[in-house]
Structure 1
């Protein structure tokens, strides 16, 4: 499943354009801009499974680095600083990875 089957392609492109600059990524603003924040819990869960590239049931730090590429192939890689900030914002139980419930809570913030 691709993100453009869950979200509007134009919204994805606009959001990726806004966050092109290095160290500019803001997950809250990004999720709002792509329309994920307004989606149903079921659609947010579908997005989680797209981002869980290794199908482990978690989004690990290495997967977070490439999160924008899952929205569009021309998305940039997140910097280490952005990746760590994203992980810290979502990882509420401190296990170093993001579960489906943590991801849903992060999107809804």
Structure 2
């Protein structure tokens, strides 16, 4: 499933534009801006599956770096600092990766 099937293209573009500069990414603001925060848990889990590129059931640090590309192919890569901050914010059990429940909890925070 593509994000454009779940979210409005104009909302995705607006959110990506808001975080174009390096070290400006805020996952909570981003998920709100793209409209994901307002979606049901089921829809958030669909978004999670789209971002879990290797279908491992987790979003690992390497996948997080490219999370914006999961919303649009022209999304920028996150910096190492942004990636680590995103992981620290979402990884509640400390296993170094984000599970579907952790992702859903972060989006709806």
What's the TM-score bracket when you normalise by the shorter of the two chains?
Answer: over 0.9
TM-score by length of 2: 0.99
Deviations 1:65-105 (A, max 9, x none): 00000100000000000000000000000000000000000
| Unpaired stretches in structure 2, ≥5 consecutive residues | none
Q: Name the Cα RMSD after superposition.
A: 0.3
SS of the equivalent of 1:59 reads strand
Unmatched 5+ stretches in structure 1: none
Aligned residues: 109
Aligned to 1:16: 16
User: In the alignment, what sits opposite 1:108?
Assistant: 108
Take 2:40 and 2:93, find their aligned partners in 1: how far apart are those partners?
24
Q: TM-score, normalised by structure 1?
A: 0.99
Is 1:91 paired with 2:53?
Answer: no
The 4+ residue runs of structure 1 with deviation greater than 2 A are none
